[in-house]
Amino acid sequence: MITEFLKMGGYGIYVWSSFFIVITSCAFLFYKTRKTLKKYEKEFAKELEKLPAEHKKRIAKSSKVISSILASQNKLS
Amino acid sequence: MEFFSFGNIIIYIDKFIKFINSIFFVILIIGISFALIISPVDYLQGDSVRIMYVHVPSAWIGLSIFSLIAVSTILNFIFKIKNLFLFIKSFAPIGLLFTCLSIVTGSIWGKPTWGTWWAWDARLTSMLVLMLFYVLFILSLKYFKNNENLTKILSIISILGIINIPIIKYSVEWWSTLHQPASIKFLGTSSIHPSMLIPLFLMLLVLLLYCALIFLMKYKTEIIKIKKQNIKRL
């Protein structure tokens, strides 16, 4: 039964290769996009680390973007 | 306009990413089960019809994203809206991916159905032209640093590219092509049975959720890039 399912009436190679190409391409773009996002979040957090503590606290409170990035970085560490 | 500030946008982006992550795999498994197991075999094409469940949504997404970014580029050229530019930059690679996927899966489907991987017929050629417009669009985004020139070039590509959209849509009616005419009509009766229509729309939903996820991550990356450049001014 499994062999029949894999063979897909003789069209298995076409059907499976189509689904495989779509899934792997999508997974690759997801991996690449996520990696770039994490890289920029990390770099941004590093830049923030260089700022004086008081200044950092103040902007983390006032900027939603910065607090969101810091929150995601804390989750990673 | 405060609602559209990067601060508010990034909060909603995080919420949407979490939401999509929580439902994506469930919908993916349901969609794939319908596409590969539950949906019936076609009386003429046999199991090869299952390629439709990835080919058709990919083509729809490729076409829709180009229309969306072309209109946004023209609006950005007129009104100079920064958010629109980030929107275009984040969507273009997703559109290119799905246009390529529709061409590749269409070619794989063509072999058992038409007996050839490729034919220079109107539908296939116009889809290839769309892919080239996407490539031009992305290369321009990568290599033109001057904003004024970039906006002009993107607008020219968009105007030329958008002319190609109705050509793709009606190519199967205007010319004699290997490609079959549309089976699904949004403003009329579709000639496709619901047992195949349901898996098709489920797979469309899966791929749309995937597009939304990639778009949100790319958009967030672009916001961080801008904030990083301006960190000294904070």
pLDDT digits (tens, 9 = 90+) for B210-230: 999 999 999 999 999 888 877
Question: How many whole angstroms from its chain centre is CA B130?
Answer: 11
* CB B210, CB B94: distance < 8 Å: no
Contact B126, B171 (CB under 8 A): yes
ipTM of the complex in this document = 0.90
Per-domain boundaries in chain B? 2-233
* Domain positions in chain A: 2-76
For B232, which residue in chain A has the nearest alpha carbon? A51
pLDDT on residue B234 = 61
Q: How far apart are CA B98 and CA B212, in angstroms?
A: 13
Mean pLDDT confidence for B117-125:
90
A22 CA: distance to closest CA in chain B (Å): 6
Smallest Cβ distance to B48: which of A14, A19, A41? A14
Which pair of structure tokens corresponds to residue B150?
């970039």
Instruction: Please report the pLDDT score of residue B200 as a whole number.
Output: 95
Could you give the 3-state DSSP secondary structure of residue B103?
Answer: helix
Residues of A with CB under 8 A from a CB of B: 5, 8-12, 14-15, 17-19, 21-22, 25-26, 29-30, 33-34, 36-37, 40-41, 43-44, 47-48, 51, 59, 63-66, 68-69, 72
B14 neighbourhood in chain A, CB within 8 Å: 68, 72
* Cβ neighbours of residue B185 closer than 8 Å, sequence gap 6 or more: none
- Confirm or reject CATH 1.10.357 for domain B2-233, answering yes or no: no
Q: Which one has a higher pLDDT value, B191 or A9?
A: A9
Check pLDDT > 80 for residue B51.
Answer: yes
- pLDDT cut 70: percent of chain B above it: 95
What is the per-residue pLDDT for A77?
46
User: Residue B94, CB half-sphere, CA atoms under 13 Å: how many?
Assistant: 26
Q: Are B220 and A37 in contact (CB under 8 A)?
A: yes
Average pLDDT over residues B3-7: 66
